[in-house]
Structures are given as C-alpha cells and as structure tokens.
Chain A
Amino acid sequence: EIVLTQSPTTMAASPGEKVTLTCRASSSVSYMHWYQQRSGTSPKLWIYETSKLASGVPNRFSGSGSGTSYSLTINSMETEDAATYYCQQGSSYPWTFGGGTKLELK
C-alpha cells in the first residue's frame, strides 16, 4: 500500500500570504489528486492529475510534483481557502488518501 504523508498537519496563513502544502508518497506515483473539504461537507475535487484545476477552482491555486513528492500552492491566501486539503493517489491499489492538512486563516 502506498502511504501518503501530508505536511504540515495544520497551518495558519494570513490573507495575501503564499501557502504550500506537501504530500509525500511512500512509493512513486504517476499523478496526485487533491480535494478540499469544509467542515460537514463532502470532499470536493480541487486538483487532478497533479496540476489540472477542477472546474470552478480559482487560478491562485496550482499543483506540481512528480514521483514521490507533490505540492499544492495557493499564490495568495484568501478567506474562502480555509479548509482541509487531502491528497490522493490512484496509481496503485489500494487507492489511498493522505491524512490531510488543515489550513486556517490567521
């Protein structure tokens, strides 16, 4: 099983600040996918195939990476970006999720 480790577990950012969330895989994966989840709601697809933004996702978000190291970056933090973000790999069974990064507004 490929274990995905996200860091940091929790962080706070001020409006306008640049934010980078990291996801490391225990073995190489072809792509990484990211989800945003707000409290009490279902996860939403945010970034797929490492760097493609899902429909409706603001372009201040970007994704990058390869192999075992991937990241999600917010160019300029906004209030609405406060949420928990999860990475997920579908390269190898069983598909797995990271433990999440809770991003709070400072």
Chain B
Amino acid sequence: DVKVTQSSRYLVKRTGEKVFLECVQDMDHENMFWYRQDPGLGLRLIYFSYDVKMKEKGDIPEGYSVSREKKERFSLILESASTNQTSMYLCASSLLLQGPPTDTQYFGPGTRLTVL
C-alpha cells in the first residue's frame, strides 16, 4: 500500500511566521504535489515536483515555496504566513510514467492550517 504522511494534522500559526509543512511518501514515487483545499473551490495545485531538486509552479504558487532535497520528501514553505493562507493542505505522490497522462495520485491525511 502507498503511504503518504504529513507532519501535522492540525497547525496554528501567527501572521508573519515562517511555516514548514512536510510530506513523506514510501513508494519511491517520482512525482509529488501540494494542494490546498477550500470550501467551494475544490483542490487547487500549489506546486509539484517530478524529481529531486526539481519544481514546477501550479495554479496558485504565490506566497509559497517548496523544497525537494530527497526523493521521498517534499516540503511546502510559507515564508510569511497570512490569514488568507488558512486552509487544508494536501500532499500527494504518483509514479512518473513513460509519458503523460499523470498516473494515479495518492494523498496524505492533510494538514489543517490556521493562521491567526
């Protein structure tokens, strides 16, 4: 079974703080993704990575950065947290097939972040 874990289920931070969200997968997947989920908006892609040290912007990268130093770990960084970044954050991973389409994504349990 694919296992994707996230460092925290719930997190409360103050405006202006630097926030790190960690994601680890144990299936040797090349692709990793960060989404945020908000009511009525579904899932929106923040960043993804298809290899170590590689990253691509998704639909809403502003205010976020990412780090992928090891294949199994993908970190999402909020350089200076703001209240509008209060949301559910979901990490996912997938195999990198020979070509697109992107294969099945497997998700972690999510981190519910509140910025006060």
**Pairing of A with B:** no
- Tell me the B residues contacting A by CB distance below 8 Å: none
- Tell me the A residues contacting B by CB distance below 8 Å: none
